[in-house]
Amino acid sequence: MRNVYAVAVLGLTVALAPACATKKFVRTEVGSVNAKVDTLAGSLEQTQERTRQNETRIAAVDVKAEAAGRSAAEAGTAASAAATNAASATREVDGRLTGRINQAETSARRLIYEVALTEDEGNFTFGDAALPDEAKARLDQMVAQLKADPKGVFIEIEGHTDNVGQSEYNEQLGLERAETVKRYLYAQHQVPLHKINVVSYGEEKPVAPNNTRTGRAQNRRVVVRILS
């Protein structure tokens, strides 16, 4: 009986021994895998953190690049505007100098007669450079006289205004009125442009006091001088 019991215990021991060894192996392998997983998880977190930091740096660089691009565009626009203004100012100065030079050249010529187109005679109105029909009729009459007795004449056209408003505006308005007369003489009567000089005096040369309505109307005028 004892022998049977001993054999049974021995058989159970032999049967349990492999099972214990297997559990220990499994625990060892699981521990190793867990360690590797923890290591990989740590590496992944570090990689994600570096990626986040890089994305932050890239975003900051993009913001600076965009700001630099806007600044460059604004600088380019400002430079273009400055160049345009400089060119416009140069043209204006050149035009005024040309007018003054031509005026000096014509000062030695002899005056044959002159025509004054004033508002008080139904011509140029306040703040306007359009050529009224009354002014056109007077110019037509003047040209008819020129064709009858040309004598190699030269035409000088002066633009004048009253003293209402800024002097710069008045000078420009006087020039526009004189240019309107010049264009009419060329377009309607084919008067050669090289025989016409245009100058604006603005409010500088009034022919009547500017403190009355009648006086201001007389000062708003264009004077056409026929010179030989």
| pLDDT (0 to 100) of residue 59 | 75
Say whether both 57 and 159 belong to one domain. Answer: no
| pLDDT (0 to 100) of residue 208 | 92
| pLDDT (0 to 100) of residue 12 | 47
The Cα-based distances of 154 to 8, 125, 175, 185, 196 in angstroms read 146, 27, 18, 13, 6
| pLDDT (0 to 100) of residue 81 | 73
Say whether both 51 and 149 belong to one domain. Answer: no
Say whether both 187 and 139 belong to one domain. Answer: yes
Query: Computed from CA positions of residues 12, 17, 19, 24, in that sequence, does the dihedral angle turn out positive or negative?
Result: positive
Helices 133-148, 167-189: axis angle to 10 degrees equals: 50
| pLDDT (0 to 100) of residue 198 | 95
Residue 27 within any structural domain of the chain? yes
Say whether both 55 and 107 belong to one domain. Answer: no
| pLDDT (0 to 100) of residue 9 | 46
| pLDDT (0 to 100) of residue 210 | 93
Which structural domain range is residue 144 located in?
103-227
| pLDDT (0 to 100) of residue 49 | 78
Say whether both 177 and 126 belong to one domain. Answer: yes
- Write down the residue that tokens 């691009």 correspond to: 69
Say whether both 69 and 107 belong to one domain. Answer: no
Question: Do residues 210 and 162 make contact, with C-beta atoms less than 8 angstroms apart?
Answer: yes
Say whether both 74 and 26 belong to one domain. Answer: yes
- Number of structural domains the chain divides into: 2
Say whether both 125 and 185 belong to one domain. Answer: yes
Q: Among residues 96, 155, 95, 162, which one has the least CA distance to residue 124?
A: 162
Going residue by residue through the chain (228 aa), what tens digit of pLDDT does each one get?
545 455 454 454 545 455 555 656 556 766 665 666 567 667 767 777 777 777 777 777 677 777 767 776 777 777 677 766 766 655 565 555 555 555 555 456 687 888 888 776 556 666 677 787 888 888 999 888 888 776 678 999 999 999 998 999 999 999 998 999 999 999 999 999 999 999 999 999 999 999 998 899 889 889 999 988
For position 203, which CATH number holds? 3.30.1330.60
